[in-house]
Amino acid sequence: MKIAFLGTGLMGGPMARRLAEAGYGISVWNRSPAKAEPLAACAATVCAAPDEAARGADLVITMLTAGPAVHEVLFDTGVAQAAAPGAIILDMSSIRPAEARAHSGRLAESGRRHVDAPVSGGTRGAEAGTLAIMAGGDEAAFDEIREVLAVMGRPVRVGPSGAGQLAKLANQAIVGIAIGAVAEATLLVSEGGGDLSAFRQALKGGFADSTILQQHGERMENRDFAPGGRSSVQLKDLDNVLNEAEALGLKLPLVEAVRDRYKRLAGPLGQGDLDHSALFLELLDLNERSA
C-alpha cells in the first residue's frame, strides 16, 4: 500500500513517523516544509506539493487545521485526482460533520472513497501510537485500512460518513468542560493550601479521576503549557460543537460557557497558541491571581 500523509505538524508529524517506522511506503507534505523534512530520516519521501505526494497513492491521509484547509488540499490542489483510482481518502483532521459528508460525496463522483477519522490523545498519544480514533464511513473501506489505523492508535467505526467527526465534537465537548472543571478544582485546592500532587494522587481510581485530571492538572500546577493541543484549536472545535447543536435544535449550556472562556483566552488574553490546559491562566486572570 502506497500512503501519502498530508499535514505533518504537531500531531501529523509523529503519526506519519509511526507509519514510516512500521515499514509503510509513505510520501509526506506539509505547508511549512521544515515540519516535513525530519521525516526523511525515517525513509519517508518528502514532497514539495500535496498532489506530488498523493500521486498514485492507495491511501491519502490528511491531518490539517480545519474544513476549508482540507477542501483546498483535496480539491484545489489536485490531490483527489492524483490519488489512485479507488483510493481511500482518510481525513484525520477535526472538521464539521457536514463538511466530511460533502467531501465524501464529491470524492465518490471521481471514484475515490472517504473515511473521516479524527483523533484524541494529543501529541503524547500520537507519539506512543495510542490515539483514540473515531471513524465514520463505509464499513468495507474502514476494514481495508484498519491495520494502518492500528499503528497510530485504537480505531473504532462509529457510523456512516460524518459520524467520526460528530464523535470528535462530542469528545471535544467533554475535554473542554473537563479542563474547565480541573482548572477550578486545582485553583480551589491550591488557594486552600493543599498539596496539588497529593490531591491528584488521592483522587486516583475515584469517580473524579481522569487523564485530564492527572496530565493537565500537573500541567496547571507546573505552569507548563507547551502546546500538545492548542487552545485556538479547542476553541474552533467548541464553535463547531455549538454550530452542530444549533442545526439539531439543541442547547448545550456547559459547552457554551467553556467556549466563551476559550474565546477570552485566545482573544483578549492572546494565548491561543498555548496548550488547551492553559484555560487555567484565564481562570487565574478572572480571579486576579498571578500566573
Looking at 2, 35, 168, 236, which residue is catalytic? 168
Catalytic annotation present for 251: no
C-alpha cell at 64: 490539517
Which residue reads 473521516 in cell numbers? 116
> CA 203 to CA 201: how far, in whole Å?
5
Q: Rounded to whole angstroms, how far apart are CA atoms 157 and 135? A: 4
Three-point CA angle 52, 56, 62, nearest 5°: 65
CA-nearest of 200, 245, 199 to 97 is: 245
Q: Which amino acid is located at 46 in the chain? A: V
- State the Cα–Cα distance between residues 54 and 60, nearest whole angstrom: 6
Q: Helix, strand, or coil here: 132? A: strand
d(CA 199, CA 193): 11
* Nearest Cα to Cα of residue 266 among 244, 291, 288, 233: 233
Distance CA 124, CA 64 (A): 18
Work out the burial of residue 127: count CB atoms within 10 Å of its CB; fewer than 13 is exposed, 13-18 middle, 19 or more buried.
Answer: middle
Task: Tell me which residues are annotated as active site.
Answer: 168
